[in-house]
Chain A
Amino acid sequence: DAKTTQPPSMDCAEGRAANLPCNHSTISGNEYVYWYRQIHSQGPQYIIHGLKNNETNEMASLIITEDRKSSTLILPHATLRDTAVYYCIVSVGIQAGTALIFGKGTTLSVSS
């Protein structure tokens, strides 16, 4: 079973920041927080991941609370192309060779 809880849907106006929350209260010390998104009828696309510290890349920022029980994905300037299902996944790192287990995700709708 997925170890994360996300709101089923969110709306965002084009050009505004989209803040997608995720609860992972049972996360273990060796587990990362990964974010992926899936645009309709495509494979999931990697966005960002982190362990303890906040992370930023060209797509998004990831804010992880100090107790690591929750996180927020921030898309700073949402566009219509960011409309997708966003998945927050908790998983051990690469060494374990384990599969990512997907929850239901958040459907983000960006409108003009």
Chain B
Amino acid sequence: GAVVSQHPSRVICKSGTSVKIECRSLDFQATTMFWYRQFPKQSLMLMATSNEGSKATYEQGVEKDKFLINHASLTLSTLTVTSAHPEDSSFYICSARDLGGSKTEAFFGQGTRLTVV
């Protein structure tokens, strides 16, 4: 089945630094990928929709200058958390749908646990 790979799975960074998270579709092309954030004991919250070759679309309340999204190819989207602060500590998850295949479901990465100290 279609696989979405996310890297790293876990990262600890100092406050004020930037962290880049990669999301790859391994066996299909994804013109659109999605980024979610999940705080402890809460559900997944959609942050932004990443579109290959164009600007990402951010959900209301998500700072586009803080959460930089780049979708330079059909198999890779990156999320960069800039000037990270402890309140950015969360579980970040990417997702993609195989628009060229027969499956209608979305596939999710393993998630990235970000801890800002």
Contact = CB atoms under 8 A, between A and B. Distances in A.
Interface of A: 32, 34, 36, 38, 41-46, 49, 87, 93-95, 97, 99-105
Dominant SS at the B interface? strand
Given A41-B91, A102-B44, 10 more contacts: A34-B105, A34-B106, A38-B44, A43-B6, A43-B95, A43-B111, A44-B108, A46-B108, A49-B104, A99-B49
A58 B7 CA distance: 29
B99 interface: yes
Contact of A46 (B32, B43, B46, B106): B106
Given A87-B43, A101-B46, A44 B93 contact: yes
A94 B43 contact: no
Interface of B: 4, 6, 31-32, 34, 36, 43-46, 49, 91, 93, 95, 97-99, 103-111, 113
A97 B6 contact: no
A71 B77 CA distance: 34
A100 B43 CA distance: 12
Contact of A102 (B6, B43, B97, B99): B43
A41 B109 contact: no
Nearest to A44: B108
Nearest to A43: B108
24 contacts: A34-B106, A36-B108, A38-B44, A41-B113, A43-B4, A43-B6, A43-B109, A43-B110, A44-B108, A45-B108, A46-B108, A87-B43, A93-B104, A94-B97, A94-B98, A94-B99, A94-B103, A97-B32, A99-B95, A99-B106, A100-B95, A100-B106, A102-B45, A103-B43
